[in-house]
Structure 1
Amino acid sequence: MTETAAVDADTPSSDHRGKRPPEPRLPKVVQGVAFAAFRRKTMREGAKRFGQVFAINIPFFGRTVVVSDPELVRSVFMASTDDLINVQPNLSRIFGPGSVFALDGKAHRNRRKLLAPPFHGQSIKNYEKVIEEETLRESATWPEGNEFRTLEPMNRITLNVILRTVFGADGEELDILREIIPPWVKLGSRMATVPEPPFRTGRRSPWGKLEAFRREFDRVVFALIDKAEADPNLDERSDILALLLRSRYEDGTAMSRQDVSDELLTLLGAGHETTASSLGWAFERLRRHPDVLAELVKEVDEGGTDFRQATILELQRARTVIDFAGRHVKAAKFDLGEWEIPHGHSILVSIADLHENADIFPEPERFDPHRFVDDKPPTFAWLPFGGGTRRCIGAAFANTEMDVVLRTVLAHFRIETDDAPAEKAHHRGVAYTPKDGGRVVVSRRK
């Protein structure tokens, strides 16, 4: 869409069929800088000025439509994969072409079938003991009476949990992964929405560092695959690596080694930082809400779970960690309500704007878990894990991990509350974390 075709926000048309959404009259580079550096503010201001559907033109994603109307979000997530595919470019740039992020259509459906078993039912129940063990091990050294950041301990807990559930045991290889994954996640998150240069960069450049990491990661994972394939008890193992090595597509073929490595990197990279970020926000919120904290502690002591689950839902709404989900128009055009979106455009669902919609969540600025007690969140307005066919496959795993970590910490520690100002959100490229790291003061319960 050219700037001359843009619709001014002050002169909306009464019939938008076949028309394009309104967009700001700003140069592409200015829009790109605003989106990259001040994404939440840019999206919020755009919705305030233009409404729940508006267009932007930015580097990386190109011509893009931003949506925060629940009914239109439904149409995006329920669209045929012949019409909408995964946003282009996407995180497969970081995780590799064998990652589920790179696949669409039948290939995507088949891969999700292979990945589903470890993340449902009894499999997740079996991981609870691992989560509790890692929480107790990490919290054993927490300082009593002194303020400390919880974000880093949460990252270590979630990384160790995903490593143990993926590979099933500890060892030299996992020690290497513990060392190289955190700096890779930090760098990869920052580079995830940065255009890749059309020329080869040096080994000291960010892209060169990502390539070096990938070589080392593949080396370690291929060694672990060799060990697993040589294990006479492989058929009895319940870790994710073993499940992937045993799995077969409908035609009887197995995943290639490189695809297995790409998927494991996806699970490790995407499967721990976002959960850790949410847990960091959990402590940030509980420090400032003594009534919620007291109710949670009482429930833990009585063996309940309902209010803790409601708190997790509200936490993910009130402190959105991943603020958008994207699609790419593959069809000649895509009808988004009254608007017509041309082939090649991107569509970004503004998750944070949905979570802040006062018509759906009254007083959205208020942290109130009771809004989800005996009331499930709306499917297409509560979207911390995205939606549709590309909804995060590890959603249930993440929920269980948050539940067990909070239950374990509250059973063993008292969290001091006060009226400290809320921590601001810090943008880490992909996820939003508490700027000061979710700082708290704790003491052990006797």
Structure 2
Amino acid sequence: MTEAPTVQTRPEPDARAPEPGQAPPELRLPKAVQGVLMVGLRRWFMRTAARRYGPVFAINVPFFGRSVVVNDPTLARKVFLAGTDDLINVQPNLSRIFGPGSVFALDGKDHRLRRKLLAPPFHGQSIRNYEKIIEEETLRETASWPEGVEIRTLEPMNRITLNVILRAVFGADGAELDYLREIIPPWVKLGSRMASIPQPSFPTGRYSPWGRLAEFRRNFDRTVFTLIDKAQADPRLDERTDILALLLRSRYEDGTPMSRQDVSDELLTLLGAGHETTASTLGWAFERLRRHPAVLAELVREVDEGGNEYRLAFIHELQRNRTVIDFAGRHVLAPYFDLGPWRIPHGYNIMVAIANIHSNPEVFPDPQRLDPHRFLNTRTPTTWIPFGGGTRRCIGAAFAHVEMDVVLRTVLQRFTIETGNAPDEKVHFRGVAFTPKEGGKVVLRRR
């Protein structure tokens, strides 16, 4: 592994407590250098800066500009619970990729009302309706898995989670869904890479990355509008449980429906944000189980006995031990925002460093150790934040957990994972999510 470069920063800060209303300590590195470190060595950069500057420090990076990084779980909770008069969604955000009708683009009352419309498909019986779909897609994908040879699991997990969310969103297979299966993976790959790159103010041409994203969007909207027309013409629309049908039946408080374009933006958000992160976590699951035979043995024993408590604890611990999304952001809308003793000016972004909090030994002792017992028979701590927190917490969190639970159960019922002493796979940044660099390699045999 190439050794990370030394960060030349100002001397260690004074150990005395900061005065109330004080500006956070600021990294004294050129903006371009901070940007390179943020993209190329982000985990190392954030850990190093936190050790040097403490729980709150300021950075200045391209794209996001002046921002404050929060590594303290108590202060992170204050960020998540802040009112929308003080903090709004980080600027810029993923609405650049998903569209102005996406929940990522909304704040305040508009955001609250939209989440109210989106919530029903992701709770209670609605999620249980999707379990059969998840199992079917897992069985379909794993039917051709070879035995006794090393395979990468990340891309198969991406196919499973994409097919699951497509069927959950639209309710059935068909030509339109086949087309979406074809165009969404390259869009996700390109969109992830472009998510943190400013869009030029001048035309870039149809073959440029932005031109290709625009072409995809036109094709996606055309396909979704066709599916909306079919759904609205379906005499059994009121009986359907897919997400498209639920959104078409939903109404705001004044009785108005979502516009067709807003529906398309939200469906793209669900498809884009709702499958890659779950697939990345599942890729890490196989990477971790290959190296932790005791955890694997306990999971297999529980599967054979029909339980899932330890499996759910494993999923929680996996999301902590191998955090896939490492930041949750907010933007200061008020004239200033006081965070503990620090005063953060209007216009700054606040970035909660999820990965740093998850690896804090004062919060999670021996954080590098994979130990599902941290979450077994205990209430999930507020310091566990893989889905963010507050009013902007990922709306699909429960769906993602059910999906991971069913996929792991189905695989463990049918395959034996060979364990060994292979070195840990390195963490690879794919633009939005952190994945196992070698693709979550395992060797399997059918049971």
Q: TM-score, normalised by structure 1?
A: 0.97
How far apart, in 2, do the equivalents of 1:12 and 1:416 lie?
49
Match among 386, 391, 408 for residue 410 of structure 2: 408
Q: What are the within-5 Å matches in structure 2 for residues 250-289 of structure 1? A: 250-289=253-292
8 Å Cα contact 1:56-1:66 kept in structure 2: yes
Match among 30, 52, 63 for residue 27 of structure 1: 30
User: Once the 2 structures are TM-superposed, how far is the Cα of residue 199 of structure 1 from its aligned partner?
Assistant: 1.4
- Which residue does 1:437 correspond to in 2? 439
- Which residue does 1:157 correspond to in 2? 160
- Which residue does 2:242 correspond to in 1? 239
How far apart, in 2, do the equivalents of 1:59 and 1:16 lie?
29
Matched to 1:193, the amino acid is: S
- Which residue does 2:199 correspond to in 1? 196
- Answering whether residue 367 of structure 2 is matched by residue 364 of structure 1, we say yes
Q: Please state whether the residue corresponding to 2:130 is helix, strand or coil.
A: helix
- Cα deviations across residues 66-114 of structure 1 (Å, max 9, x unaligned)? 0010110111001011000000000000000000000000000000000
Q: What are the within-5 Å matches in structure 2 for residues 303-322 of structure 1? A: 303-322=306-325
- Which residue does 2:419 correspond to in 1? 417
Q: Quick check: 122-131 or 196-205, which moved more?
A: 196-205
User: Once the 2 structures are TM-superposed, how far is the Cα of residue 377 of structure 1 from its aligned partner?
Assistant: 2.9
Q: Quick check: 370-379 or 184-193, which moved more?
A: 370-379
Q: Please state whether the residue corresponding to 1:170 is helix, strand or coil.
A: coil
User: Once the 2 structures are TM-superposed, how far is the Cα of residue 261 of structure 1 from its aligned partner?
Assistant: 0.2
8 Å Cα contact 1:85-1:330 kept in structure 2: yes
Match among 38, 45, 49 for residue 42 of structure 1: 45
- Cα deviations across residues 264-301 of structure 1 (Å, max 9, x unaligned)? 00000000000000000000000001110010000000
How far apart, in 2, do the equivalents of 1:358 and 1:200 lie?
49
User: Once the 2 structures are TM-superposed, how far is the Cα of residue 27 of structure 1 from its aligned partner?
Assistant: 1.3
Runs of 4+ in 1 over 2 A off after TM superposition: 6-16
User: Once the 2 structures are TM-superposed, how far is the Cα of residue 19 of structure 1 from its aligned partner?
Assistant: 1.5
User: Once the 2 structures are TM-superposed, how far is the Cα of residue 7 of structure 1 from its aligned partner?
Assistant: 8.4
Which segments of 5 or more consecutive residues in structure 2 lack a partner in the other structure? 1-8
- Which residue does 2:176 correspond to in 1? 173
Match among 54, 67, 71 for residue 70 of structure 2: 67
User: Once the 2 structures are TM-superposed, how far is the Cα of residue 309 of structure 1 from its aligned partner?
Assistant: 0.6
Q: Please state whether the residue corresponding to 1:199 is helix, strand or coil.
A: coil
How far apart, in 1, do the equivalents of 2:145 and 2:21 lie?
59
RMSD: 1.1
- Answering whether residue 216 of structure 2 is matched by residue 213 of structure 1, we say yes
- Answering whether residue 331 of structure 2 is matched by residue 334 of structure 1, we say no
- Answering whether residue 399 of structure 2 is matched by residue 397 of structure 1, we say yes
How far apart, in 1, do the equivalents of 2:153 and 2:60 lie?
38
User: Once the 2 structures are TM-superposed, how far is the Cα of residue 13 of structure 1 from its aligned partner?
Assistant: 5.3
Matched to 1:384, the amino acid is: P
Identity of aligned residues (%): 74
8 Å Cα contact 1:88-1:346 kept in structure 2: yes
User: Once the 2 structures are TM-superposed, how far is the Cα of residue 26 of structure 1 from its aligned partner?
Assistant: 1.2
- Which residue does 2:386 correspond to in 1? 384
- Cα deviations across residues 216-247 of structure 1 (Å, max 9, x unaligned)? 10010000001001111111111000000010
8 Å Cα contact 2:10-2:28 kept in structure 1: no
- Answering whether residue 109 of structure 2 is matched by residue 114 of structure 1, we say no
Matched to 2:400, the amino acid is: A
User: Once the 2 structures are TM-superposed, how far is the Cα of residue 320 of structure 1 from its aligned partner?
Assistant: 0.3
- Answering whether residue 103 of structure 2 is matched by residue 105 of structure 1, we say no
User: Once the 2 structures are TM-superposed, how far is the Cα of residue 12 of structure 1 from its aligned partner?
Assistant: 5.1
- Which residue does 1:3 correspond to in 2? none
Q: Please state whether the residue corresponding to 1:267 is helix, strand or coil.
A: helix
How far apart, in 2, do the equivalents of 1:377 and 1:109 lie?
25
How far apart, in 2, do the equivalents of 1:138 and 1:236 lie?
29
- Answering whether residue 314 of structure 2 is matched by residue 294 of structure 1, we say no
Which segments of 5 or more consecutive residues in structure 1 lack a partner in the other structure? 1-5
Matched to 2:66, the amino acid is: R
How far apart, in 2, do the equivalents of 1:10 and 1:331 lie?
28
8 Å Cα contact 1:8-1:22 kept in structure 2: no
Matched to 1:392, the amino acid is: C
8 Å Cα contact 1:287-1:415 kept in structure 2: yes
Aligned length: 439
Match among 418, 428, 431 for residue 426 of structure 1: 428
How far apart, in 1, do the equivalents of 2:117 and 2:324 lie?
27
Q: Please state whether the residue corresponding to 1:232 is helix, strand or coil.
A: coil
- Cα deviations across residues 395-433 of structure 1 (Å, max 9, x unaligned)? 000000000000000001111000000000110010000
Q: What are the within-5 Å matches in structure 2 for residues 51-66 of structure 1? A: 51-66=54-69
